[in-house]
Structure formats: C-alpha cells, structure tokens
Amino acid sequence: MSAKLGYKLTEIGAVPEEWRVEVFTDAVQVNPGRSLVAGKEYPFVPMDALTTDSPRVRYVLRRVWNQSSGSRFQNGDVLLARITPSAENGKTALLDSLDGDSTGFGSTEFLVLSPKTGGIEDSKFLYHLIKFEKIRNQAIQRMTGSTGRQRIPPGAFGDILCPIPPVSEQRKIASILSTVDDAIQKTDEIIAKTQQLKKGLMQQLLTKGIGHTKFKQTEIGSIPKDWRIATIGSVTQVRNGSTPRRNVKDYWENGQVPWIPTAQVNERFIAISREYITDVAVREANLHLIPKGSLLLAMIGQGLTRGKVAKLLIDAAINQNFAAIFPCEEMDTDFLFHFLDFNYFRIRNMGRGGNQWALNCEIVRSIPIPVPPKDEQQEIARILSSVDDGTEEENQRKHQLERLKKGLVQVLLTGKVRVKVR
C-alpha cells in the first residue's frame, strides 16, 4: 500500500506529510495537577452535568473543596467520563464556563485531559479528538474492573497513537466541527422552546378550549360548560393483542404482517414495524389486525413506557401489552391522542398490581375524557399537531447535522480532507 501524494504512511495509516503521529499521553496531559485551597468554595461539576452530544456542561454547582478525592480541572480542560456506561455512551465536556479563578473540581469518575504545548494545543480540537471513535474505542477496550463498574484507567492512553496536525490546522478543524456543534445546540434550544410552548397550549386548549367564558367543575377538573365527560369505553372500542409463540417457526419465519411490540410506543407515530409475523400466526393465534389511525396505549412498564400513547400509521398486529383504541364518529382521533399524551402521568398512576403495576383494557375503558363539539376537537388537534410538525422538522434538522458532523469527523481528523489555513 502506498500513500498518495502529500501523504505519508504511519502506524495509523496515511496522514498528511505535515502531521505527526504520537502516543496520546505525549501529546496531552492526563489528570494534570490543579491546585485548590482547602475550605474554599469552587465550581463543582457532577457526572449528570455532562451530555453525550454537546461539549457544553449542562450546569455547574458550588461546593467547598475539603481535600477529599475528586477530579480537579480548569477552563480549557476536557472531561471524559471513565466509568461504564457513561464512557461507552460518550459523556464528554469542554470546560469554558467555570467562574471565579477558573478552576474547579468534580466527580471522581472523570478523567481530565488538558492541551499540551508542542502536542495537542487547541482545547476544542482535543475535545473532538477524544470524541473520535477510533481514539475513544481504544480507551474503552482497556477498561478494568468488575462487570457494571468498569473504568478507563489513566494509563489506558499510554499506547494509543493519535494524529497531530500543526496548531493552525488544529484550530481550523476544531472551528469547523464546533460550528456544527453550535448549530446542533441551537436546534436543541428550538426543540426545547417548542416543547414548552406545546405544554402551555395543551394546558390551555385541553382544559379551557377555544373562546369559552363559562366553565364547570368535573371529575377531571374545570372544563367549558358545553363540554361533556365520557369514558373512553363509551366513545371508542378498546382491544389488546397477543404474542404468537416464539418457538413456532411458522409464526415468525418469513413473516410479512407487521407486529408491534410495546417498546415502539416511544416513537409516538408508528410507521414502520420492527418485527413481522406470518398469516399462519394471525389465523392460529387468533390475532386481529389493528387498522391504521388507531391509538396504541402501553399498559405495562415500570420505566417510562406504561401510560404512553402512539398513533398507528400502518395496519398491524400488536402484542398483549397494548390497548388499541378505535374512536367512534363522535371523537376526533388526534384530539384523543393529544389528551392521552397530556394526561400521561395521571393515566400511568391508574395502574394496579403487586410487584409491577399495570393497566388493563378495563381500566383504559374507564378513563374519563372531555368531549367537546367535534369541530372544536378538530381545531384543537390541528393546533397541537402543527406544533408537533414543527418539532419533527427540527428533529430531522438535528439528525442531518449529526450525520454531517460524523462525516466531517471521519475525514478531518484523519487528514483525508484538508482545511485551508490562512
């Protein structure tokens, strides 16, 4: 194998002629000493303040340094979560918001990485380099400790080789990647604001309606005087599904009938099936195909699943832990979807059981709901769905930016694509 013109072959492959390849610990300081004064208050960064997709620390606390164990750092350092699963998930941060004397401390489960003169000199470049899978995964493979408590030891970087562009090129590469990070951050902020807007609109529209001045108290709170209260079972049909036996090949092999497990409720709008069953399974297991446009309410799950609702956008069979809801002519499907979504916690807490609370079809049928006039239901649903559409557009934009960044990282940090440095 030969390197193309302007490149040279190294232990990590072809890199630009002007780049060096060195051991990571020769180019970066790992856990550098930072002096703190006992009894003095400093910024404190807990593990929860780090994210997997942004260089920014979510928040910073204030605590007194008492000379106990803990990572110590300053602005310009990079924090790398070293304990499983945070390490594998990619929790990393670039510190630039420590106040006071710009030093602080944090979780014992951080490795602190700092730029080094003559090596990796740009903090932002260092952040992107340690996020690079080819570097990070080598460190993760060197984790030690018992299952569930494994950690990346500081010495894990002792034989990891990394590319080192000239400082001017480090800064330019970092600037490009950080620009994409900033765009992702702004998109996240728009999504958060849109979700907050929707929360306020749901509170207003699903309890006060549009243009009403007279209200009445009901079992679900105050609602417009001309609305009525009904149970889900009185204005919809409710049915659950089942799971064909997994050990029967004829039920699953080469299946073409979509079958939806409860975990897919998190998609909110289910347009693609992850699993398929056969016509034999439908017939012999006495399954019913749920028509598209139906609502699926998850009935079990101690985590976040129980009580969540999704709209089915395809005809499909479902498992026994879903309640499929088919609204009648009097109810607008999207209005009911938004109402159930808004009342997630109330519905979730209606579960019964011993070790694991669960809903059932009987409970779902008994859930009280408001019934506005049909045209008002449709207008409320239209407003809330338009906000959902805006959120989905921003989510798609974020995914595109994330794909763009992943591609840029692959070519910029390996020198396959060079940047112009003035």
Q: pTM for the complete prediction? A: 0.81
Contact 327, 232 (CB under 8 A): no
Instruction: Count Cβ neighbours within 10 Å for each residue of 290-324 and write b for 16 or more, e otherwise.
Output: beeebbbbbbbbeeebbbbbbbbeeebbbbebbbb
Q: Which of 196, 165, 57, 50 is nearest to 109 (CA)?
A: 50
One pLDDT digit (tens) per residue for the chain, 422 residues:
445 669 999 999 999 999 999 999 999 999 998 889 999 999 999 999 999 989 999 999 999 998 777 899 999 999 999 999 999 999 999 998 887 668 999 999 999 999 999 999 999 999 999 999 999 999 999 999 887 789 999 899 999 999 999 999 999 999 999 999 999 999 999 999 999 999 999 999 999 999 999 999 999 999 999 999 999 999 999 999 999 999 999 999 999 999 999 999 999 999 999 999 999 999 998 888 999 999 999 999 777 899 999 999 999 999 999 999 998 889 999 999 999 999 999 999 998 876 668 999 999 999 999 999 999 999 999 999 999 999 999 999 999 999 999 999 999 999 999 998 77
For the chain, domains (ranges, CATH) are 7-164 (3.90.220.20), 228-371 (3.90.220.20)
